[in-house]
Structure 1
Amino acid sequence: MSSHQAITLGLAGTGRIGTLHTETLKHLPNVTNVVVTDADADRARATATELGVEFAPDLDTLFAADLDGLVIATATDSHPALIIRAVDAGIPVFCEKPVAADIEGTRAVIDHIKHSAVPVQIGFQRRFDAGYRAARAAIRSGNLGWLHTLRATTLDPAPPPAEYVARSGGLFRDCGVHDFDIIRWVTGREVTEVYAIGANRGESFFADADDVDTAAVVLRLDDDTLATVSLTRYNAAGYDVRLEALGSKGNAIVGLDDRSPLSSVEPDHTPSPHLAYPGFIDRFRRAYTEELAAFASVVTGDLDNPCHPTDALEAFYIAEACELSRREARSVKVAEVR
């Protein structure tokens, strides 16, 4: 298959991110047909009607639609079965993170597909953001010298619903995993040790789910670079996602612009007239488009898979080590959870 060949893509899961992906897919130049389904057939039908794509009432109908690729945006617990079904049918897959709800499930999927040539791309959209790409280039070029510190933040404006928190896997696995992945990706290094603490000062449903609403993490990389990751569900000033890469010769900062929700109290500072990003879709809209455009090129054979399930597993190991560290109040070697 070549980049000039028209392709049909299926999409499972028409919630918020699935609807965004549907809209993006239908505008990709070589995608001529998009077929959507959802466990809630009425929701999928409404999405298909609104966006002018094809509706499939169930998964069997979707898989019978002669698909060239499948985008999975369903609930986490359905990811493993859908990935395996598609790969076994020879259909390339794009799946929103995570591969599965836990390490064992992720390993099982990887073991099942490891001898297949069918690509499975995992959705870590920050890898396609222009700022993160520029930081990666600056680090790997040597222009920053050797790194001594990385500072990452993912600060949500408001918490998700209690039902979501209860099945999210926790702040490290659901939220921090993006920071863990991008730190590995921009540096090309592995995380060897973590120390994580968490707190609950917000809604009681976080504690009810044995989760935390705010966390601070220290990571040691395999070259002794130190990284900190700050996470919270309560940053009402706006969606704040940044990465600071500080080196012996220079620095590169991702996410510092006129829409950063930072309030300087210096007397000579002029506040930005621009509103902060309200959420992840607005902040990463262009990255989501680039990510799915890359998947279309993976489908046509014009691009190697840019984010393999093994990458998701490595980020999951770090998240798991953070959760163990929080619970046991000690530093944890990532090797302990492998």
Structure 2
Amino acid sequence: MRLGLAGTGRIGTSHAETLKSFDEVSSVVVADVDAGRAQAAAAELGVEAVADIPSLFASSLDGLVVTAATDAHPELILKAVDAGIPVFCEKPVAADIPGTLAVIDKISGSDVPVQIGFQRRFDAGYAAAQAAVASGELGWLHTLRATTLDPAPPPAEYVAHSGGLFRDCGVHDFDVVRFVSGREVVEVYAVGANKGERFFVDAGDVDTAAATLTLDDGTLAAVSLTRYNGAGYDVRLEVLGSAGNAVVGLDDRAPLTSVEPGVQPLPGPAYPGFMERFRPAYISELKTFLDVAARRVPSPCGAADALEAFYIAEACEVSRRERRPVRVDEVRV
């Protein structure tokens, strides 16, 4: 297979290296809005580079991986689908709900597969939790507790264009709550706070947030988010049922410190960030995309799944601003 990759930033370069390692991939060709960055990445990885992103579409591709800036996602997804090229795109589909709906509308009649990057679905722990729920071994669920706790904030320029903590960060938790529970979120209540850098306030964002989600069967999910978890990158999910429980992310590198007498500390070290924590999941996700591109399996996470997670994030942002419970149906367009 000959695969293209649009966007050679940190995650794009990592994905290109992963794609190159697959036996089924004969060549990888990369491009970026910054031609020099693409050339440098290509030289470092030993892959091809073209002059600009539009040139990728003249490269006889069997699949396209999109890791470019968010505002480029809709155009690249649509160009790939129009050209008959299966496409994998990092979340989100678009920067807002109308943009996401426009993409879904335009690709709805096509048989060209589109896969959206929610890598936690491919993490062994989250997959095991989902299987435990589906098997019934946990009984009926009453509570899910999800956390995404970054060790340090991203740069101010990133925050200003991120869409906010719920849309940029919490959307992964919202997606796995749906994925693991097999249920839909019908109502949210969210709050946020700022005790860190001023640039969060300037961007209309928060650096810490909490949300309570009510699922369609009455199960409750609590989601906790922050940009200031100095102990390290902490991503976990607790799934609590009437007959048992499953915990994701409680491994030797979880940045947790027990103060109970006689309890030994976890050996660590803590994961420094999401790339390290989810490296195996990213590999599995891209391996699955090869099967999707070859039409061996359907897309496991399409644009409609991304839209549902985005709706929950949007409802949380409305709830935070207006200080009230918000039905997810209120933000559906």
TM-score by length of 1: 0.98
Structure-2 separation of matches of 1:302 and 1:60: 28
String of CA shifts for 1:4-51, please: whole Å, max 9, x gaps: xxx100000000000100000001120010000000111110000000
State which of 275, 283, 291 in structure 2 corresponds to 1:289. Answer: 283
- Determine the structure 2 residue equivalent to 1:4: none
- Determine the structure 2 residue equivalent to 1:113: 107
> Does the alignment pair 1:191 with 2:181?
no
- Determine the structure 2 residue equivalent to 1:163: 157
- Determine the structure 1 residue equivalent to 2:3: 9
Secondary structure of 2:16's aligned partner? helix
Structure 1 segment 1-338 matched on structure 2, within 5 A:
7-338=1-332
- Determine the structure 2 residue equivalent to 1:3: none
Q: Is the CA contact 2:255–2:268 (under 8 Å) kept in the aligned structure 1? A: no
Q: Report how far residue 186 of structure 1 moved.
A: 0.8
Q: Report how far residue 56 of structure 1 moved.
A: 0.7
Q: Report how far residue 302 of structure 1 moved.
A: 1.2
Q: Report how far residue 57 of structure 1 moved.
A: 1.0
Structure-2 separation of matches of 1:85 and 1:61: 12
Secondary structure of 1:31's aligned partner? coil
Secondary structure of 1:265's aligned partner? coil
String of CA shifts for 1:68-105, please: whole Å, max 9, x gaps: 10000000000000100110000000000000000000
Structure-1 separation of matches of 2:204 and 2:179: 30
Q: Is the CA contact 2:193–2:206 (under 8 Å) kept in the aligned structure 1? A: yes
Structure-2 separation of matches of 1:185 and 1:40: 36
In the alignment, residue 96 of structure 1 is paired with which amino acid?
A: E
Q: Report how far residue 274 of structure 1 moved.
A: 2.1
Q: Is the CA contact 2:256–2:266 (under 8 Å) kept in the aligned structure 1? A: no
Which 5+ residue runs of structure 2 have no aligned equivalent? none
- RMSD of aligned alpha carbons: 0.5
In the alignment, residue 215 of structure 1 is paired with which amino acid?
A: A
Which 5+ residue runs of structure 1 have no aligned equivalent? 1-6
In the alignment, residue 335 of structure 1 is paired with which amino acid?
A: D
In the alignment, residue 65 of structure 2 is paired with which amino acid?
A: V
Q: Report how far residue 273 of structure 1 moved.
A: 2.3
Identity %: 72
The ranges of structure 1 where at least 4 consecutive aligned residues each deviate by more than 6 angstroms after the TM superposition are none
